Structure 1
Amino acid sequence: DRTEPPPATPAPLSAGATSRRPRYALLTGTPDLATFPRGQWLAAARRALSEAPNDAFGYGDPRGRAELRTALADYLARARGVYTDPDRIVVCSGFHHGLALIAQVLKKRQIAAVAVEAYGLDLYRDLLTNAGLDTPPLAVDEDGARTDDLGRLPQVGAVLLTPAHQYPTGVALSPQRRAAAADWARATGGLLLEDDYDGEFRYDRQPVGALQGLDPERAVYFGSASKALAPGVRLGWIVPPPDMIPDIVAAKGYGDYMTSTLEQLTLAEFITSGMYDRHVRSMRQRYRPRREQLVDALHQRAPGIRVAGMAAGLQTVLDLPPGTENTVVQQAARLGLAVSSLAQFAHRTPEAVSPQPPRDGLVVNYAAPSDSAWTGTLEALCDAMPASS
């Protein structure tokens, strides 16, 4: 189980590259784990446990504890513009679990295909494929996924999007592309599957609101605690149209029927006490200078490298000269730095209605290194850049 995906695996090394354990890493998938608010989380757990009713220790509602669903409904409406109430939320064990449940529901409803972004995690494409769903890709450009191509994919009954901060390229889905997605869903009865994996982290302006707010009856919203807190907090949430909830609950019954009650109560207390908001603000303040230091260092050491997708989230893309991606990844490995190539996230198939243009790049998670490792990590990254830049 985003379950959160494990950090992306570096590209295979050539015979001349070292296989020793990397000293530094900029792999995607996690925030800075050293910053998990242990003291505040423990305090929230103590309060939640002391106030928990006796029935909290029994078999509970598979939708999740009412305390957490109530706290999430308020938070999501306030912070992300999600249209919901406690009865429209189903708690799960992270995005992977939530998507697996929805895949079962889609298959039961005889949906044949789910369109996906041409850049994304193969983990989720494989999950959909293993559920018996085709995954035709939508090209991604500076305005996000080409949702205007959905009408050219007649077998598609749903589309999986990362509209606030496309994973991994970092672009936001433009208002025109958002409208096109909502129009397609209304016209065809299709579903918008929205993975809002790091929507709280916006640096250049107020966060981009959830796509779900455009048409709550045609959207399934997914969120989790994995980026704001840590992947080890195995909690996520689904906000589907109400008519899907019985099928989702039935799908939960085949596997993880209940998510840990004590974790749910702790997160509910963490949110309602204001600690969640304070932690997110603190992490934004922590990550912002990392972004600036990354840009400044590359401007000085590798001025030809374009840094893209920096407005939000925890990762960015470094555009590389054509044909240099593998060489840079291997050079980084020689310097003890593990980093992901953009090609690792590409999904290219013959049925693509708008083929994705080739692009060389690195996906850099500037949030993950600890403070003590950050300077050395940044130095190794700059040293790995092409000499011609």
Structure 2
Amino acid sequence: MPQDRPGPAWSTLLDLDGQPAGPLHRRLGSALRSAVVTGRIAPGSALPPSRVLAADLGCSRWVITEAYAQLVTEGYVEARSGSATRVRAGAVSVPGPARTGPEPSRPPEFDMLPGVPDLRAFPRKRWADAVRAATSSMSSADLGLPDWPGHPRLRQRLAAYLVRGRGAVAAAENVVVCDGTLDGAVRLCRALRRAGHTRVAVEDPGWSRLPAALTAVGLTPVPVPVDGDGLRVDRLRALPEVRAVVVAPAHQFPTGTVLSPARRAELLRWAREADGLVLEDDYDAEFRHERRPIGTVQGMDPSRVVLMGSLSKTLSPALRLGWLAAPPRWTEALRAEEAATTPPPVIDQLAFAEFLDAGWYDRHLRASRLRYRRRRDLLLRELAAALPGLEVSGAAAGFHLLLHLPECSAERVVRRAARRGLRLAGLDRYRAEPAGGSPALVLGYGNLSDAAVPEAVHRLAACVRAECGG
């Protein structure tokens, strides 16, 4: 295990003067990133507490927490409540001495990690056409510094799409374009912190990167359990110090449950009574396979809900395009981030606006829904044949489901599967307390070709039988 650096002279370790000109928190983030990439700060090493580093550098703690939060968002470091902020293992590949042992393991033959769309189906030609059209039509002014909330044209098109396609209440002036859902959540949480919030509720199990991001910006994540009807709002009510919650009502990750109508109404009552804010993660709600996509909670009370979305699940995470539709009060609060945020590239923003205008986004979503429904049906048939008796759960939506195991170790199944070229994730990976519930695997099928499904399930079944019997 890497050792924490004992009492480092961080002011000399970090080359702040050698970084590009800009605010101190950006220069500090750049210096830390450089130290991680070059190996001067080893993977697993703990970064100093914000107060310690602030004293060493002679700056405010705000500078430190902002720099740490940016590195959490970029995936270089991870932060957990009650623990140090550490360099993420495997975040970078640091050159080392010549390898004398065995060659590194090859990429898995079958990747069933959840959260990845069908990257083979990315509409390359139409996206290239959209980029070409955007580039040829953009004005000289568009080539200047971007507007902090995003290009006005994309904000107008996004507002129209969210109203038409997601049942939201949105106007261009209250839409903010960001680098993705996590970036948007971090911006909102900074605004919450400035408004006096100290804790934010998160779903348990839930999105594993979110608690670390909350911790990095100075907020405490508070896990709230999820059951078959979604978030336990009664448990949320029992937390008087919590006035904000992040929730995925249309398709909870990773359990795949849908927030029931009664819970939706109860959640909004809580927000009004607590003067609270709901951060709605609409990450893959467009993909509902047995009926029309479920409308947003934001559309029921836009004064209490911020709608967060991105292209990561619908097109590709490589595009780094996301958005927030926020109440006017919080849109203004986000303006305080103007100097500390960089919008996505304008050409990409205008390309997506072209993509929406041409109707290509709607067509891509329709084709994707059919593809994922067909693949899910195939996966269910193969699982029923290879592992009869094991429960499968999760709404017919998105591109992941849960496979419940008998009383055996899901982690051991994951490790055995890795040796057989199959990448999996156990449900414990997404729980606040590992081993806090029944064992299950979260099976992603978005980026698994139809032809690969039978062999992937064959190997999965062999691993389950070897570890769990039967």
The TM-score with structure 2 as length reference comes to 0.75
- The Cα of 1:4 is off from its aligned counterpart by 9.4
Q: 2:433 matched to 1:361?
A: no
> 1:101-250 residue pairs with structure 2 within 5 A?
101-250=187-336
Cα distance in structure 2, aligned partners of 1:131 and 1:5: 14
Residues 5 and 82 of structure 1, relative CA distance in 2, 3 Å threshold: farther
Residue of structure 2 equivalent to 1:344: 429
> Is the 2:148–2:341 Cα contact (8 Å) retained in structure 1?
no
- The Cα of 1:147 is off from its aligned counterpart by 1.4
Pick which of 60-69 and 321-330 moved more.
321-330
Cα distance in structure 1, aligned partners of 2:298 and 2:332: 20
Residue of structure 2 equivalent to 1:282: 367
Cα-to-partner distance string for 1:219-275 (whole Å, 9 max, x where unaligned): 11100001100000110000111111122122142132x321000000001011100
Residues 311 and 271 of structure 1, relative CA distance in 2, 3 Å threshold: same
Letter in 2 for 1:207: P
Pick which of 203-212 and 340-349 moved more.
340-349
- The Cα of 1:357 is off from its aligned counterpart by 6.1
> Is the 1:143–1:174 Cα contact (8 Å) retained in structure 2?
yes
Q: 2:266 matched to 1:266?
A: no
> Is the 1:4–1:226 Cα contact (8 Å) retained in structure 2?
no
Residues 265 and 72 of structure 1, relative CA distance in 2, 3 Å threshold: same
Pick which of 171-180 and 50-59 moved more.
50-59
Residue of structure 1 equivalent to 2:460: 381
- The Cα of 1:109 is off from its aligned counterpart by 0.4
Cα distance in structure 1, aligned partners of 2:255 and 2:450: 25
Cα distance in structure 2, aligned partners of 1:220 and 1:115: 15
Higher relative contact order, chain-length normalized (CA < 8 Å, sep 6+): 1
SS in structure 2 of the partner of residue 232 of structure 1: helix
Cα distance in structure 2, aligned partners of 1:375 and 1:304: 18
SS in structure 2 of the partner of residue 136 of structure 1: strand
- Equivalent residue in structure 1 for 2:176, among 72, 90, 102: 90
> Is the 2:383–2:457 Cα contact (8 Å) retained in structure 1?
no
Letter in 1 for 2:356: I
Cα distance in structure 2, aligned partners of 1:357 and 1:60: 46
Pick which of 130-139 and 162-171 moved more.
130-139
Pick which of 34-43 and 301-310 moved more.
301-310
SS in structure 2 of the partner of residue 385 of structure 1: helix
Residues 4 and 216 of structure 1, relative CA distance in 2, 3 Å threshold: farther
- The Cα of 1:148 is off from its aligned counterpart by 2.2
- Equivalent residue in structure 1 for 2:152, among 59, 63, 66: 66
- Equivalent residue in structure 1 for 2:127, among 14, 17, 41: 41
Residue of structure 2 equivalent to 1:352: none
- The Cα of 1:45 is off from its aligned counterpart by 1.2
Higher alpha-carbon Rg: 2
Query: How many residue pairs get matched?
Result: 372
Q: Which runs of 5+ in 2 are unaligned?
A: 1-69, 77-87, 89-103
Q: 2:407 matched to 1:322?
A: yes
The TM-score with structure 1 as length reference comes to 0.91
Task: Quote the RMSD (CA, aligned, Å).
Answer: 2.2
- The Cα of 1:20 is off from its aligned counterpart by 5.3
Q: Which runs of 5+ in 1 are unaligned?
A: 10-17, 350-355
Identity over the aligned pairs, expressed in percent?
41
